[in-house]
């Protein structure tokens, strides 16, 4: 693209104020190449790399969403796209989540969405991502959330490997504290996993550990909305909400019968991952993973990580108990159990790897519809291949899977009953045998 075409796109984009536009023109180098002009404006701070690449690809609109100017595309998935954005007046940087149109395609779904975000707005806690606003532009609904500049815990483990044991316990403790706030408000997250736990560097306390924040409260129940009462977003039948690697057995069977203890099971799976670098049940299909959560115990965490103490391993096992009654009953209980095991300290992580911007010979991907608005963001143009937290689509569960889960759970229950019966028979046999031996000994003695 030539310089004039690039500047024409930039002028129509609304990214620069008239004063910034005049200043940018004065600072542009003498060139006919759009790529060179774009690189110069990025280096001078007028544009971000993402904005420049989109303009060079032919985009002219969609950079302004309500009062927000889009800076970067953070991630995308089945529920929509997440942008790093800046309020044009306050200059506050936020995370902007533009929801996919199919999630809110009826008046009923929109009404339930608004009820849900009002509930989320009540969650004010250091370990929960703050929700600032919810609005719509041109029929597209978006959430305005606190922007966290650190990685999520999935990214952290993938880059750094298993975390120090004390640090992993501290991160899990912080999540439990956030969940307790939600529990007090009568809310269940339903999709606790490392990718939904964001790490914020503590600039206010040098040397302090990272601050973990739970993201996407209220979004899990937006996937596949259906008619329901009591102001609750209800998912369609035969849809499992959540991620198979971190899903509680009861949530796999029936989403609507879950409570905060289901989130605690997912927290246990997350702590398992932070300590070992692998999910509790690696390999296999979605169906196999869901069945194993309900019928098998994972390899002990201390077998994979010998330095894990018996006390830490016991917390993991209790969090991941098959029966909700056998787990901690509230997040506060889990946080109290983790507190003596937690170690706070400085956290470090590598910056997200990005390709060099617009090297000579690099050609931006063309825009499919340069004049389109919000809907024009092409998923292939994402800078990151990782779906943003909370934007993954629901895990579909077929009738076959539902039947298989029920069958596996029934078989496990029957096996437990058979083991109990065998144990009772052995005890009874031992008791009867002991009595007979006593009688025989008495008879011989007196005989």
Query: Residues with catalytic annotation?
Result: 191
CB 214 within 8 A of CB 127: yes
Angstrom distances, CA of residue 154 to CA of 190, 275, 387: 17, 12, 12
CB 298 within 8 A of CB 272: yes
Give the C-alpha separation, 280 to 321, whole Å: 13
Give the C-alpha separation, 308 to 162, whole Å: 12
DSSP letter assigned to residue 199: E
Pinpoint the alpha helices (H) of 339-398.
Answer: none
* Tally of CB atoms within 10 A around 323: 9
Structure-block tokens of residue 365: 């991907």
Structure-block tokens of residue 126: 């250091």
Q: Residue for token digits 């942008």?
A: 83
Tally DSSP H helices, then E strands, for the chain: 14, 12
Give the C-alpha separation, 165 to 271, whole Å: 10
The 3-state secondary structure of 231-258 reads: CCCEECCCEECCCHHHCCHHHHHCHHHC
* Tally of CB atoms within 10 A around 300: 14
Give the C-alpha separation, 353 to 27, whole Å: 29
Neighbouring-strand partners of residue 33 = 2
SS3 at position 97: strand
Q: 300 φ, ψ to 5°?
A: -55, 140
Give the C-alpha separation, 49 to 53, whole Å: 6
DSSP letter assigned to residue 2: B
In this structure, the strands spanning 80-87 and 64-65 are unpaired
DSSP letter assigned to residue 346: -
Give the C-alpha separation, 238 to 399, whole Å: 7
Structure-block tokens of residue 113: 């969405």
Structure-block tokens of residue 63: 């950079």
Which residues, 6+ apart, have CB-to-CB distance to 336 below 8 Å?
A: none
């Amino acid at each position: 693209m030539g310089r004039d075409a690039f500047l024409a796109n930039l002028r129509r984009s609304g990214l620069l104020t008239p004063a910034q536009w005049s200043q940018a023109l004065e600072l542009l180098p003498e060139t006919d190449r759009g790529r060179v002009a774009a690189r110069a404006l990025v280096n001078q701070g007028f544009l971000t790399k993402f904005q420049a690449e989109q303009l060079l690809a032919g985009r002219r609109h969609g950079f302004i969403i309500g009062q927000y100017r889009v800076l970067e595309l953070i991630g995308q998935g089945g529920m929509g796209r997440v942008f790093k954005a800046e309020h044009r007046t306050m200059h506050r940087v936020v995370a902007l989540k533009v929801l996919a149109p199919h999630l809110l395609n009826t008046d009923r779904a929109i009404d339930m969405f608004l009820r849900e975000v009002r509930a989320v707005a009540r969650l004010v806690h250091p370990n929960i991502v703050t929700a600032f606003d919810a609005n719509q532009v041109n029929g597209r609904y978006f959430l305005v959330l606190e922007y966290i500049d650190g990685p999520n815990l999935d990214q952290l483990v993938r880059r750094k490997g298993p975390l120090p044991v004390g640090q992993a316990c501290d991160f899990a403790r912080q999540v439990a504290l956030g969940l307790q706030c939600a529990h007090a408000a009568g809310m269940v997250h339903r999709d606790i996993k490392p990718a939904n736990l964001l790490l914020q560097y503590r600039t206010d306390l040098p040397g302090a550990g990272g601050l973990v924040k739970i993201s996407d409260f209220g979004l899990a129940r937006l996937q596949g909305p259906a008619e329901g009462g009591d102001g609750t977003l209800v998912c369609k039948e035969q849809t499992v909400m959540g991620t198979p690697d971190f899903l509680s057995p009861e949530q796999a069977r029936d989403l609507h019968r879950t409570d905060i203890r289901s989130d605690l099971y997912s927290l246990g799976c997350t702590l398992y991952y932070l300590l070992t670098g692998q999910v509790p049940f690696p390999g296999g299909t979605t169906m196999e993973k869901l069945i194993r959560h309900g019928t098998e115990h994972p390899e002990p965490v201390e077998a994979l990580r010998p330095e894990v103490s018996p006390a830490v391993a016991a917390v993991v096992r209790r969090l991941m108990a098959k029966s909700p009654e056998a787990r901690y009953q509230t997040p506060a209980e889990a946080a109290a159990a983790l507190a003596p095991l937690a170690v706070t300290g400085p956290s470090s992580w590598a910056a997200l790897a990005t390709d060099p911007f617009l090297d000579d010979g690099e050609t931006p991907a063309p825009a499919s519809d340069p004049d389109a608005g919000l809907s024009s963001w092409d998923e292939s143009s994402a800078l990151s291949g990782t779906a943003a937290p909370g934007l993954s689509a629901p895990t579909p569960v077929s009738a076959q899977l539902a039947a298989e889960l029920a069958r596996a759970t029934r078989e496990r229950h029957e096996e437990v009953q058979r083991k109990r019966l065998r144990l009772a028979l052995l005890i009874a046999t031992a008791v009867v045998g002991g009595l007979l031996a006593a009688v025989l000994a008495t008879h011989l003695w007196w005989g």
